[in-house]
């Protein structure tokens, strides 16, 4: 469902959310008692109470962020200086806080643990840092938020991203990312508009920025996997269809957007490939409900490709498939494996 026009979102949806959170705070004891009571009659460990608690914390962060965004708008001269460097930095600090609080509550509520394998990419001095293009696997609920949180709070990067338009239903995400260098595109839209959005975001990358791209184009599912292979055959690329058929855990990557980002980005931009394993079983709400609390350890692996080692445009499609095959093989090896925790936000 497409979100309502911007004026309706700002004058109706956003104030309604803040009012709803105030009501939730007032009625929190009733909500907690009710959630605990009904959880007794539902299989699993306090499922209803966990969902109630997480939603309450999420909405609380949303409301606090909206208030802060409104204050920033006023202080900026009612939007006059909202896109200046100083206010952009303020918005990125707020965005990092939002991500940290939401991810912390998710880890605590759903017993989620992140674990890193392989060497941690070196963080060089600020004056030597380069723009980053982050190409990540896409599977499971909230993996994009986990990635953005890691970039903002672990690696002190300023994430940029292209999102689906319906995510503007989330008031805080809607306001803050429309003020930062990111883009919302209608669901299902492909071709020139998306490529132009990618080029625009990539062209403005600075040394502290990270442009997040999901080359698969969507969360993994069996239906999407088979459809992607069929599509490659339909467009006359049996060579890529054959390579895609060898993948077991990922969708075949789409090279067009990646090549556009690499071409538009500043000359010395590094690429980081991100693979993760552990969220595959949670495809829809039913899977999340049945698996709650998840008690899941998510293994993460990062591959760093310096700008000097990025192949020329005519070789980038094959290179992308080579890297995706490596990520896919790593996922196969890690689905039954464990790793040492690398990151633990303080819970509420």
The Cα 326–Cα 320 span in angstroms is: 10
Q: What is the average per-residue pLDDT within 314-334?
A: 96
Judge whether 1 and 166 are in contact, CB under 8 Å. yes
Binned at pLDDT 50, 70 and 90, residue 345 comes out as very low
What pLDDT is stored for residue 294 in this prediction? 59
Residue 190's contacts (CB-CB under 8 Å, 6 or more residues apart) are none
Spatial strand order of the sheet with 132-136 comes to 183-185, 158-164, 209-213, 132-136, 270-277, 296-305, 112-117, 341-343
Q: In 3-state terms, the chain is what percent helix, strand and coil (to 5)?
A: 55, 15, 30
Q: Which pLDDT does position 187 carry in this prediction? A: 73
Residue-wise pLDDT for 144-198, tens only, equals 899 999 999 999 999 999 998 999 999 999 999 999 999 998 876 677 888 999 9
What structural domains does the chain harbor?
79-343 (3.40.1130)
CA–CA gap between residue 309 and residue 319 (Å, rounded): 11
> What share of the chain has pLDDT > 90, as a percent?
62
Can you give the pTM of this predicted structure?
0.90
Q: What is the pLDDT of residue 67?
A: 95
Lowest model confidence (mean pLDDT) among 52-56, 64-68, 197-201, 338-342: 338-342
Distances (CA, A) of 165 to 91, 326, 337: 20, 31, 36
For residue 340, pLDDT beyond 50 = no
DSSP 122-182: P---GGG---EEEEE---STTHHHHHHHIIIIIS--EEEEEEEGGGGGSHHHHHHHHHTT-
């Amino acid at each position: 469902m497409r979100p309502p026009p911007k004026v309706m979102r700002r004058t109706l949806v956003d104030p309604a959310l803040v009012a709803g959170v105030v009501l939730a705070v007032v009625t929190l004891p009733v909500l907690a008692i009710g959630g605990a009571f009904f959880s007794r009659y539902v299989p699993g460990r306090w499922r209803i109470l966990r969902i109630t608690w997480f939603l309450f914390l999420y909405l609380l962060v949303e409301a606090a962020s909206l208030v802060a965004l409104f204050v920033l708008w006023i202080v900026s001269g009612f939007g006059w200086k909202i896109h200046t460097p100083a206010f952009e930095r303020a918005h990125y600090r707020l965005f990092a806080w939002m991500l940290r609080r939401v991810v912390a509550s998710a880890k605590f509520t759903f017993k989620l643990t992140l674990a890193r394998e392989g060497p941690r990419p070196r963080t060089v001095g600020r004056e030597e840092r380069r723009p980053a293009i982050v190409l990540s696997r896409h599977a499971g609920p909230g993996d994009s938020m986990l990635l953005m949180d890691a970039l903002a709070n672990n690696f002190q990067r300023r994430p940029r991203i292209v999102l689906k338009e319906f995510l503007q239903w989330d008031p805080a995400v809607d306001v803050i990312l429309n003020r930062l260098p990111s883009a919302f595109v209608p669901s299902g839209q492909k071709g020139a508009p998306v490529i132009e959005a990618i080029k625009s975001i990539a062209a403005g990358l600075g040394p502290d920025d990270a442009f997040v791209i999901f080359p698969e184009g969507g969360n993994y599912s069996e239906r999407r996997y088979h459809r992607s292979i069929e599509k490659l055959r339909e467009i006359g690329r049996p060579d890529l269809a054959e390579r895609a058929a060898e993948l077991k855990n990922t969708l075949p990557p789409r090279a067009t957007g990646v090549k556009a980002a690499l071409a538009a980005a500043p000359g010395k931009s590094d690429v980081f490939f991100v693979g993760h394993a552990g969220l595959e079983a949670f495809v829809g709400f039913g899977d999340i409900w049945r698996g709650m609390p998840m008690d899941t350890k998510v293994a993460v692996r990062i591959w760093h490709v310096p700008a000097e080692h990025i192949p020329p445009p005519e070789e980038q499609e094959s290179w992308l498939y080579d890297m995706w095959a490596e990520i896919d093989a790593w996922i196969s090896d890690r689905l039954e494996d464990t790793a040492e925790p690398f990151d633990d936000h303080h819970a509420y």
